[in-house]
Structure 1
Amino acid sequence: MPITAPAPATPREQPLTCEVARIDILHVSKIDQIEHAFSARLFFQLILRGGQRDDDLLRGLNEPSPEFQLRPSATWLLHQFHFPNALKLEYAERKVTKMGADDLHLILRVDGTFLQHFKLHDFPYDSQILQVHLSSHCANEGIAPVRFTWSPLTVKLQRPTHFALKDVWEMSKPVRLDLETLNPSPGRTYPVLKTCVEVTRRPNYHLVNVVFPMACFVLMGCCQFAHETSNVEGRLEYMGAIVLTSTAYKMSVASSIPAIAYVTLLDRYVLACIMICILLVFEAAFVRDPFADSVALFVSIALFVALQVAFCYTAYIAVPRRAEERRRTERTPRPKPAWREKMRRVLMGARRNSSDGGRAKSVPWLFVLPTAVGLGWLGPGRKDEAHRAENIVIAASQQHGSGVLVTSCSRDCVRCPPVER
């Protein structure tokens, strides 16, 4: 009996889907605004659904140097993951494990220093978004593309429980995931999964060591009006000492302020204080009339009060507004949860029936819309209600002849009975 050669392997028809199950930011140890970098340890857990049923994915499990095949193994795919914005990186753990009856889990634990461009225009009231980019060397146009996806109801995102920089930064916002496409060269695109966490600077140090002393120097400069207008030498000597002291103090605290090419909020405040002191020097040198001297005192106090009001308004009202607007503009669209796609298919009547002249049947709106609203307001702690609501909508679609037959849940679930597709 002749022996037939095995059929040659062919690439997969669809890209492999890596579902994000868990991302933990274990700790953030350093945020360097001068070098525009931060150091962190992260844990990634990705799932290949049904991976244990694919012999190609199981080939050479956890080999140290996996080889490329037209149908690459899960270990080879794991070694293709990299971090485009990493300056220094060390893999503490990288392995493929079997979980449950069907799934393969890709585990990554990394320690690294990641590049991040900091916007310091609002320093020291600035907020920064720390991002870690996870990508794959497999291009979307290649023979082994990879696609990232996640479900808001199942993904677990953990912030650092022990934040070493909590005295300098405040981590008030939850961790979020964004998806974008990297296009380094024409005709080649790569998926990028961005893990983002926002930190806000605590301004107390700079308020005590910079803002308060500079405000005191301006108030002390107003004390020159205690001298007679005829005592020009005394006034000039006093104001000269104030200007030199404020300038020397600014130079002494310059090491704690980022060396950047543009002016920050703190720089504008310090420069405004020095300018008021310089105006007082000119007033002491040229004003001789007592009435004009009284007007100059009033104007100096008014300028000082206006400066404090403008600084407080910018720091506590304008800056938070700009930060919120920046969050809305920088946030990329997220993948829609699976239950939204099911709802859309139910409402649109996905399958047309030839017996009714091609007109699509749909579920009664009075029944479906309240269920859709209920699904939209469910949070991560309401998974069971979401499952039951999905089954209700599916049952209604079958009962009223919409012809939409889908699985009961967006993922494998032991709580919900399967519905025939």
Structure 2
Amino acid sequence: MASGDNMEAVAASMTRMEKLLEKIEDNGRTEDVVHKKRTDGHKVYCRMRVNIITIGDIDTIREEFTCELALTVKWKEPALKGMKAEDIDWGEQWDPRIYFFNAVSTDKYEVKKRLGLKSPDDDEDDPVPDAQLSIRMKGVFKSSMKLNEFPFDYQNLTIKIMSDWPRKVTEFCKDMSQKDSVRTDTFTGEQEWELQKHVSAHQVEEEKMTSGAVNAYPLYNVVVNVKRKASYYMWNVALIMFLITPLAFTSYAVSADAPEDRLSVTLTLLLTAVAFKFVVSQSLPNTSYQTLLDYYVLWCMMFLCLVVVQNAVASLFSSDKVWEHFDLPSLCVLGGLTVLVNIIFIIISCYKSRKVGHQMQQATSKYNDLCEEIKSNKGRSRNYKVGPMK
């Protein structure tokens, strides 16, 4: 019984603490971001529609990209029932308090509010009007980029939209009356990237424990995919390393009696490869792990090191037996290893390229199916709902 009483006391203490933290969080907001609270006790479901106008610079090193977008948010507003557009004071109306969570900087931010058009789901006798919030913004966004399969990779350029209202007050959902879209003709990074024609937008369930906040807040992710064009890195990095590596076999043309001449050839090639990697690394993403291209470059440098060791060991053999007993076997082993590694690299590269292409085709097909669903529904959606706050 004592243990049960202790548990109840702890639970009650935690409840009081949570309420206290909620009050502190509410009181800690400055006056310029406080908006009118709802008095009807209903939870608001905001229907989101996004149009990506422009995708600009994509910086994989800083994990940032620029984007201009138009966001349309609609919600049922009983307070506007019977009112005309010219009579509405939007400063006195409820606002979803939307902001862009992962925006690093904002170059343009325009907000407009108006009375929404009649929805197909409205009651003919007593319709609840839509309030519509339109935001057009341009800024720099931070987005985590995975580069394990670089340069045969694709990136999820994510825009995170949040509300200052907790989830018990409002939630985000997709507007099924209009499709999300992205303009590919305004894309400025086409020299390095291929912008895909689909947009993925969905609500994210963020738990209190992961966010660290007292309340859970609605989060809506808009994802645009870009696929890297690998040809630049294959021609300017992989091909150069492929050409430098076999040149180490020219050291076998130098007599084993002159190890210093042999070593001068291979060490020069090794230093060339090191200098080339240093220069190229300035334009490659900095990661704490090795990418596919990194593995290939490291293999080429390791191969040159093996040839250097072979040249040094060859000087220990007598000149009349070195070719038969050491040079020829090592030449066959190193030559076969080089051919094998390059074949494996080509096979993996082709597989990764086809895999990424297939994933993008699946995402585009899923997006097209959703567009057809929206077109067939003609705006009728389960997302038009109103419920009490929980």
Counting aligned pairs with the same residue, the percent is: 23
Cα distance in 2 for residues equivalent to 1:100 and 1:115:
35
After superposition, the C-alpha distances for 1:190-210 in whole angstroms (9 at most, x for unaligned) are 111100011121122222221
- 2:56 alignment partner AA: S
1:262 equivalenced with 2:289 (yes/no): yes
CA distance in 1, matches of 2:369, 2:358: 24
- The code of the aligned residue for 2:310 comes to E
CA deviation profile, 1:146-188 (whole Å, cap 9, x unmatched): 2222255632322443110011111235111121134334540
Question: How many Å apart are 1:283 and its aligned residue?
Answer: 1.1
Decide which of 39, 46, 55 is 1:11's aligned counterpart.
39
In the other structure, the counterpart of 2:15 is none
Match of 2:143 in 1: 116
- Tell me if the contact between 1:46 and 1:105 (Cα under 8 Å) persists in the aligned partners: yes
| Alignment pair present for 1:221 and 2:255 | no
Identify if the C-alpha distance between structure 1 residues 277 and 140 changes in structure 2 by more than 3 Å, giving closer, same or farther: same
**Structure with more contact order per residue of length (Cα contacts < 8 Å, sep ≥ 6):** 2
Gaps of 5+ in 1: 1-8, 68-72, 335-376, 388-407, 413-421
Aligned pairs for 1:343-382 (under 5 A) are 380-381=371-372
The aligned counterpart of 1:304 is 338
CA contact (8 A) 1:224 1:239 kept: yes
> Using a 3 Å threshold, how does the CA distance of structure 1 residues 186 and 381 change in structure 2: closer, same or farther?
closer
Partner of 2:237: 210
2:199, 2:222 within 8 Å by CA — same for their partners in 1? yes
Counterpart for residue 24 of structure 1: 51
Residue of structure 1 in register with 2:101 after alignment: 84
Shift of 1:108: 0.6
Q: Does structure 2 conserve the Cα–Cα contact (< 8 Å) formed by 1:224 and 1:238?
A: yes
Match of 1:135 among 137, 141, 162: 162
The residue that corresponds to 1:251 in the other structure is 278
Q: Structure 1's 108 and 62: CA in aligned 2 closer, same or farther, altered over 3 A?
A: farther
Equivalent pair of 2:69/2:138 in contact (CA under 8 Å): yes
* 1:337-383 CA distance string (max 9 Å, x none): xxxxxxxxxxxxxxxxxxxxxxxxxxxxxxxxxxxxxxxx9763476
- The aligned counterpart of 2:113 is 96
Once the two structures are TM-superposed, the CA of residue 319 in structure 1 deviates from its matched residue by 6.9
Following the alignment from structure 1 to structure 2, what is the Cα–Cα distance between the partners of residues 324 and 384? 26
Could you list the per-position Cα deviations for residues 57-88 of structure 1 after superposition, in whole angstroms to 9, with x for gaps in the alignment?
9898575xx36xxxxx14x33xx101111111
Question: How much is the aligned-residue C-alpha RMSD, in angstroms?
Answer: 3.4
Deviation at 1:35, TM superposition (A): 1.6
Q: Are the counterparts in 1 of residues 149 and 352 from structure 2 also a CA contact under 8 Å? A: no
For residue 90 of structure 1, report the CA deviation from its aligned partner: 4.3
Alignment match, 2:181: 157
2:132 to 99, 102, 105: 105
Structure 1: distance between partners of 2:369 and 2:232:
41
| 1:260-287 superposed Cα distances (whole Å, 9 cap, x missing partner) | 3222222211111011111111111212
Match of 1:148 in 2: 172
Q: Distance in 2 between matches of 1:254 and 1:92?
A: 37
Q: Contact conserved, 1:133 with 1:192, CA < 8 A, in 2?
A: yes
**Judging changes above 3 Å, is the alpha-carbon distance between structure 1 residues 113 and 227 closer, same or farther for their aligned structure 2 residues?**
same
Change (3 A) 1:316 1:153: farther
| Alignment partner of 1:45 is 2:57 | no
> How much does 1:48 deviate?
2.2
Q: Is the 8 A contact 2:160 2:222 kept in 1?
A: yes
Structure 2 counterpart of 1:235:
262
> How far apart in 2 are the matches of 1:164 and 1:296?
50
